[in-house]
Chain A
Amino acid sequence: MQTRRHALQSTVHGFGYLALAGLLRKTAPAASAAQSSPFAPKRPHFPARAKRVIFLCMKGGPSHMDMFDHKPKLAEVDGKALGDNEKIKMLGSLWDFKQHGQDGMWFSELLPNLATRADDLCMLHGMNSENPEHAQALDFLHTGSFQFVRPSMGSWVLYGLGTENQDLPGFVSVNPPHVLGGAKYYGSAFLPAAYQGTPVGQYQKNLKDAKLSNISHPRLSREHQRKRLDLAQVLNRETADRLPENRDEIEGVIESFELAFRMQKALPEVMDIAGENPKTLEMYGIGASGSDSFGRQCLLARRMAERGVRFIQVNDGDWDHHGGLAANMPKACARIDKPIAGLIEDLKQRGLFDDTLIVWGGEFGRTPDDGTRDGRGHNADGFTMFLAGGGVKRGFKYGATDEYGRKAVEGKIHIHDLHATMLHLLGLDHENLTYNWAGRDFRLTDVHGHVVKDILA
């Protein structure tokens, strides 16, 4: 590891990119391969339990007490106003719950397929976050901060570990939302621009229709295109040399052209699912009307995982059920139920499950009571997420909310803890994965976060 002293001296001796990068990523793990690319795979701080992450992001705040967090007591007080406001009445879940798997994990009837995977999941009932507003909570979930623009977790992971496939982006966000924080959720903030995520597909549009704009040149041969790009990069490097203060940003642009050139071959291949077995498609719910789109997103995640993409975020929206809970919750669950069960099964069949960490959840959960009688409010004090795969216990439920599902009371896991644990599983010490910027070392977890040892396998 470079010491601060070394780093500072190197700035005095000249300002090559490596020297600057060295200064800035003082405590990032050392690159094991050639350091010239910011994406080269790097050794983690300690042996990793998972090599990659698939983050299934449920934007809007899924209702935990209608999916995983069974609250019989809530049904008993259904229709009663327990607080000061007599209009805000308790609302029992409209759906039946059953226990599944060896640990007796609860699932509502809306998730019949996921329930069959109970013994693969690590269910976290004691999740809590900082702020019950979408914009802030989504910022917080993605970046660990709701006040400032900070790097997203995928960028931190890419910065810490590089990536294993140099022909595809190391951090991809599939169908990312363009609303609220939008690009921030895959942004790199002050980390070098190269660590930014690459969006694929459009929010809430079927991946089937996602066009890969300009993925190839209509006329030029690959060889000639390479020559043309070489000359362009000569010009760009000249600019980089002239403006050392902006080297990181300029290198990010240069790198994006190189990646784009390689992606021209690799991306259409990874997006093309024509060669997939019909049974596999069926397993993901592809072709079925409710689950087709999310199924395709999950299948793409597996295809990218297979090819060494480091951090894959799969986005789903429409979980903000203030009203129309009875009508819309079944639709939302049907959208993801089969695809996620299929993803787990598929990863297992291909031997990828053991070193892939699946993270499922939204920015917060929902309240047990509401004024509408057909919806629920925002609740950041207690909700459910689950992990699965690399390095976490299987068929294991952890933590609990109070009798109505309002507040986490046991096995509490804060979003900072989730980040710390995720990094730990990837072999990264969240206190040591830092980046020095504007006179201070920054971390994904700021000055917080504890690795949740109880859930580690």
Chain B
Amino acid sequence: MSVRDLLFVTGMFLSILPDFHAQGADPKLWSLQPVQTDFSQKGIDQFIAEKRDAAGLMPVAKAEPTAMARRLYFNLVGLPPTPEQLAKFEKDGFEKTVDELLASPQFGEKWARHWLDLARYAETNGRDRNVVFAHAWRYRDWVIDSLNADLPYDEFIRQQVAGDLSPDAGDAEIVATGFLTLGPKSFQERDREKFLMDMVDEQIDVLSRSVLGLTVACSRCHDHKFDPIPQADYYALAGILLSSETLHGPGPLYFQSHQHDKPVVAIGPEKAKLDAEVKKWRGVIYEKTIEAMRLRSAGYKIRRTVTGALRERGLKKPEDDPELLKQHLESEGMYKKAETLMAEREELLAAPPNKPGYAMALREAEKPEDCNLREGGMPKEHGPAIPRGRLTIPGLPMLDEIGEDESGRRQLADWLVSEKNPLTARVIVNRVWHHLFGAGLVRSVDNFGVTGDKATHPELLDFLATKFVTEDGWSLKKLVKRVVTSDTWQLASSGAYSEKASAIDPGNSLYWRANLRRLDVEAFRDSVLQISGELDPNRPENGSVFSNAFLGNEYGKPGTNRVNHDEEIAGFQHRTVYLPIVRNEIPELLKQFDFADPNAPTGARNARTIPSQALYLMNDEFVETQSTAAANRLLKSGPESDSEKLDLAASWAFAGKFEEEVKRKTSAYLDERRSELVSVGKTPEEAAVEAWADVFQILFSGIRFRYLE
């Protein structure tokens, strides 16, 4: 290729680049225009090829089968293929494997995490009182189960917004409404009105960003600065949410009461009976506690009077005066009674009755009301009442009429997933594309507004949205299959023509190759555990380590308000999606590797490369322990020779083989390390484990393992 060719191609490319330099407001926001439904192209590859060809770019070849298997496994189930699964993949072929993986329960565990990022899922409140949300895990499991059951996306959203209002609502539909209850709240806020306005603000933010890709919460104080979202629309939504009750807990097993508490809902078999028993039990404990506190305080008062009188009169002990003795005995009696009551309380606490399940949920408020607009977003500055659900964003449909005695959540849910709403389908297909390719067709996955990016392939986005709704019935599994079976998804990450193409399109926005992507922290941790043989594929017993924190206390040991969450979860062997997430106490591993901050919805995680990640991989106990476990597993079950062992380790770690030179160096390293260790007195067995643990530490920290080609 000559320089002239390259310049020529560059010029052509520039002429078809999407106009991503455009500044300022868009009079007709693209994402609010109707979804195009008529296409001459037949599939993903045609849309991609048209733009790629126009730039004079050739795609690289298809990925090698092992690379393909690894990519497929990680993208669909978040785990690496075992050597047996690799062999099966080669026998069964691509499509059959896709179907099997989509049907496996691990699919939901992998894909639920993407939605949980958007739902800012956590098991504590964060903010000012880090109250444990002991029942949040039910929502997490509902998301996993729903994805595994391939609940159509419109229904998936509808249930989360208004599941409790569907005619045949059961426990699952109630649990689903936990979505809007999980946010961080300012429980210390004294002003109830401000508390509610802030809570609703957070709900509007999560709902609008996750489902619509719009930042509606920007309109709390004024009309949106960029997007056509009037301030009144914000309050039209706020009215709906304020006309619903957010049952965020912590009760009914919580023993202190705060003005903002809203008891969670009982679910499961015999819920009414069991809940009544729990409430009775709690009531007895409560009464005993109150009485004990009263007695202690009264006893203390008397005790103080007695000691005061003794000092005043120069006496030594109460026995020196009959009246004082009487008072003294009375006070001692009170203390003793209190002690008995507290002991009884402890006994009761230790033997709770069978409890029902509980769920954080939404329900209709007793008196639905329109919300007044607030001038400048100030809770106390009441403007005119805005009719619930009267949304006027141009391009979006109207909500169905809302009756006087209903909140409007049902209508809101229908509106969100209406086929006339151009945003919802576009936003979700783009999210799926983002997770499968590492970048969305619209790069700003949570912002389809004016300040967001435009689609690099707008027609393809509409094509996918149309197929998703009309042909695939909002099935996420079918959407995933449609994308991964395209040639575009199956390209190698490197190959011929790369040099030329790299110079023209280094960001790969024309899809001439596959992106190199770092594994999500969940996939990293789960893979390490799978390779070390320590992964427990089951769900944690009772849902979560917090499910028995039935006192609903603030996170932390009583009195200290702080525990080391990293220590608490050391030894946790379930998949990472089940790790209890404590707001503001994110485990070190997750924090280092760009877990989504659960204080706000996140559609696209960061991908930082910073030295503290390297420090984690070089020094952290988790990596050390798991490397040793993997070494033991390899030495016990593996083949005899170092060479075969290395082949197996490479297959575990990256579904591939060591390059010859690397393998030679690794063998030499093993030899040297073993004899070194034996020379300082280790047995050959110990030396072998330690040397192989080094190899696994190297593999686990290596790019080939942590990145997906």
A binds B: yes
Please, how many angstroms separate the alpha-carbon atoms of A190 and B505 in the complex?
Answer: 12
Contact between chains at A439 and B1 (CB < 8 Å): no
Q: Is the CB of B3 within 8 A of A438?
A: no
Residue of A217, A437, A439 ringed by the most chain B CB atoms within 10 A:
A439
Does A114 lie at the interface of the complex (its beta carbon under 8 Å from any beta carbon of B)? no
Contacts A87-B381, A228-B694: A439 and B516 contacting too (C-beta < 8 A)? no
| Majority SS at the chain B contact face | helix
Cα–Cα distance between A30 and B20 once the two chains are bound (Å): 31
Asked if A96 lies at the interface with its beta carbon under 8 angstroms from chain B, I say: no
Q: How far is the CA of A372 from the CA of B509 in the complex (A)?
A: 48
Is A182 a contact partner of B597 (Cβ separation < 8 A)? Answer: yes
Give CA–CA (A187, B6) in the complex, Å: 31
Residues of A within 8 A of B619 (CB): 214-218
B375 near A133: Cβ-Cβ < 8 Å: no
Residue from A169, A219, A238 with most neighbouring chain B CB atoms (10 Å)? A238
Q: How far is the CB of B585 from chain A (nearest CB, A)?
A: 11
Say yes or no for B513: interface residue by CB 8 A criterion: yes
Which of B10, B501, B502 gathers most chain A CB within 10 Å? Answer: B502
Q: Which of A179, A253, A439 contacts B17 (CB 8 A)?
A: A439
For B507, what are the chain A residues with a Cβ–Cβ distance below 8 Å?
190, 437-438
Interface string of B617-650 (1 = CB under 8 A from A): 1111100100000000000000000000000000
Chain B positions 486-526 with a Cβ under 8 Å from a chain A Cβ: 493-494, 498-499, 501-509, 513, 516
Partner of A371, one of B376, B597, B669: B376
Task: Give the contact stretch, choosing among A71-79, A115-123, A193-201.
Answer: A193-201
Q: Which A19-72 residues have a C-beta within 8 angstroms of B? A: 20, 23
Q: Is B538 among interface residues, defined by CB-CB distance under 8 A? A: no
- Report yes or no: A198 in contact with B618, Cβ–Cβ below 8 A: no
A-B interface pairs (CB < 8 A), number: 178
A236 and B609: CB pair below 8 A? no
Beta-carbon contact of A183 and B608 below 8 Å: yes
Given A217-B618, A371-B381, A439-B504, do A232 and B611 touch, yes or no (CB 8 Å)?
Answer: no
A261 within 8 A of B: yes
Cα-based distance from A213 to B618 in the complex (angstroms): 11
Q: Is the CB of B615 within 8 A of A243?
A: no
A11 interfacial contact with B, CB 8 Å:
yes
Give A232 to B616 CA distance when docked, in angstroms: 15
- B678 at the A/B interface (Cβ < 8 Å)? no
Contacting pair B503 A8 (CB below 8 A): yes
Judge if A95 is at the interface, Cβ distance under 8 Å. no
Q: Which of A11, A194, A250, A372 has the most CB of B within 10 A?
A: A11
Chain A residues whose C-beta falls within 8 Å of the C-beta of B3 in the assembled complex: 5, 8-9, 12
Q: Which of B287-295, B358-366, B701-709 contacts A (4 or more CB under 8 A)?
A: B701-709
Interface string of B681-709 (1 = CB under 8 A from A): 00000000000001001110111100101
B499–A257 CB distance below 8 A: no
State A194–B608 Cα separation when bound (angstroms): 10
Residues of chain B contacted by A261 (CB below 8 angstroms): 614, 618
Rounded to whole angstroms, the CA-CA distance of A12 and B10 in the bound complex is: 15
A399, CB-defined interface residue at 8 Å: no
Instruction: Tell me the bound Cα distance from A227 to B513 in angstroms.
Output: 35
A439: B residues at CB distance < 8 A: 10, 13-14, 17, 504-505
Contact between B616 and A253 (Cβ–Cβ < 8 Å)? no
- Nearest-CB residue, chain B, relative to A439: B14
Determine the chain B residues whose CB is within 8 A of the CB of A213 once the complex forms. 588, 592, 612, 615-616, 620
Kindly state whether residue B218 has any CB partner on chain A within 8 Å: yes
Given known A-B contacts A148-B20, A196-B610, A236 and B703 have beta carbons under 8 A apart = yes
Whether the pair A246, B516 counts as a contact (CB closer than 8 A) is yes
Residue from B13, B502, B608, B613 within 8 A of A187 (CB atoms)? B608
Q: Is the CB of B669 within 8 A of A23?
A: no
Q: Is B23 an interface residue (CB 8 A)?
A: yes
CA distance A318 to B61 in the complex (A): 53
Tell me how many residues of B have a C-beta within 8 Å of chain A: 72
Residue of A nearest to B507 (CB): A438
- What is the CA–CA distance of A5 and B703 in the complex, to the nearest angstrom? 33
- Shortest C-beta distance, B659 to chain A (Å), equals 5
Q: How far is the CA of A270 from the CA of B401 in the complex (A)?
A: 65
A249 to B703 alpha-carbon distance, docked (Å): 10
CA distance A213 to B617 in the complex (A): 11
Q: Report Cα–Cα, A56/B121, bound state, in Å.
A: 33
Q: Which of B643-687 contact A (CB under 8 A)?
A: 659, 661-662, 665-666, 669
Say yes or no for A398: interface residue by CB 8 A criterion.
Answer: no
**How far does the alpha carbon of A218 sit from the alpha carbon of B453 in the complex, in Å?**
46
Q: Nearest chain-B residue to A195 (Cβ)?
A: B609
Interface centre among B507, B697, B698 (most CB of A within 10 A): B698
- Whether the Cβ atoms of B611 and A260 lie closer than 8 Å is yes
Q: Are A256 and B14 in contact (CB under 8 A)?
A: no
- Judged by a CB distance under 8 angstroms, whether A136 is at the interface is yes
Judge if A231 is at the interface, Cβ distance under 8 Å.
yes
**How far does the alpha carbon of A235 sit from the alpha carbon of B594 in the complex, in Å?**
24
- Contact digits for A128-160, partner B, Cβ 8 Å, 1 yes 0 no: 000101001000000000111000000000000
Asked whether A231 lies within 8 Å of B669 as measured between CB atoms, the reply is: yes
Proximity string of chain A (220-257) to chain B, C-beta cutoff 8 Å, 1 when within and 0 when not: 00000101110110111011101111100110111011
Complex: A215 Cα to B612 Cα, angstroms: 8
CA distance A60 to B704 in the complex (A): 42
B374-391 Cβ-contact flags toward A at 8 Å (1 or 0): 011010010000000000
The answer to whether A260 touches B451 (Cβ under 8 A) is no
Query: Is the CB–CB distance between A234 and B611 below 8 Å?
Result: no
**In the bound complex, do residue B666 and residue A147 qualify as a contact, i.e. CB atoms below 8 Å apart?**
no
A265 CB-CB contact with B under 8 Å: no
**Is A259 at the interface (CB under 8 A from chain B)?**
yes
Contacts of A264 in B (CB 8 A): 615
Given A232-B701, A371-B375 in contact, is the A193-B609 Cβ separation under 8 Å? Answer: yes
B665 contact set on A, CB distance < 8 A: 231, 234
Q: Are B494 and A196 in contact (CB under 8 A)?
A: no
> Counting CB contacts under 8 A, is A418 at the interface?
no
CB <8 Å contact, B615 and A236: no
Given A236-B703, A260-B615, A371-B376, A198–B610 Cβ distance below 8 Å? yes
Find out whether the CB atom of A256 lies under 8 angstroms from the CB atom of B376. no
Q: Which one of B7, B513, B599, B613 contacts A245 once the chains associate, using CB atoms below 8 Å?
A: B513
Alpha-carbon separation in the docked complex, A439 to B17 (Å):
9
Question: Is A281 interfacial (CB-CB < 8 Å)?
Answer: no
Q: Look across to chain B and name the residue whose beta carbon is closest to the beta carbon of A242.
A: B494
In the complex, what's the smallest C-beta–C-beta distance from B411 to chain A, in angstroms?
31
Q: Cβ of A198 and Cβ of B611 under 8 Å apart?
A: yes
Q: Is the CB of B505 within 8 A of A438?
A: yes
Whether the Cβ atoms of B494 and A252 lie closer than 8 Å is: no
Q: A199–B615 Cα gap in the complex (Å)?
A: 13
Determine whether the beta carbon of A225 is less than 8 Å from that of B659: no
Measured CA separation A56–B624 after assembly (Å): 39
Task: Check if B225 is an interface residue, CB within 8 A of chain A.
Answer: yes
Min distance, Cβ B457 to any Cβ of chain A, angstroms? 15
- Inter-subunit contact B513/A196 (CB<8 Å): no
Contact status B499-A15, CB under 8 Å:
yes
What's the minimum C-beta distance from A35 to chain B, rounded to whole angstroms? 20
**Residue among B509, B610, B617, B709 with the most chain A CB within 10 A?**
B610
Q: Which residues of B contact A (CB under 8 A)?
A: 1-3, 6-7, 10, 13-14, 17, 20, 23, 218, 225, 375-376, 378, 381, 451, 453, 493-494, 498-499, 501-509, 513, 516, 588, 592, 594, 597, 599-600, 606, 608-621, 624, 659, 661-662, 665-666, 669, 694, 697-699, 701-704, 707, 709
Given A136-B451, A249-B609, 18 other A-B contacts at CB below 8 A? A5-B3, A11-B499, A15-B499, A179-B599, A183-B594, A183-B606, A198-B610, A214-B588, A232-B698, A243-B516, A243-B709, A244-B498, A245-B506, A250-B703, A256-B613, A437-B506, A437-B507, A439-B13
**5 tightest Cβ-Cβ pairs between the two chains A and B:** A260-B614, A214-B619, A260-B611, A193-B609, A246-B516
Could you jot down 25 A-B contacts, CB within 8 Å? A12-B2, A20-B502, A179-B600, A183-B594, A183-B606, A183-B608, A193-B609, A213-B612, A213-B615, A213-B616, A213-B620, A214-B612, A215-B619, A217-B619, A228-B697, A236-B702, A239-B707, A245-B493, A245-B516, A249-B516, A260-B618, A372-B378, A438-B505, A438-B507, A439-B14
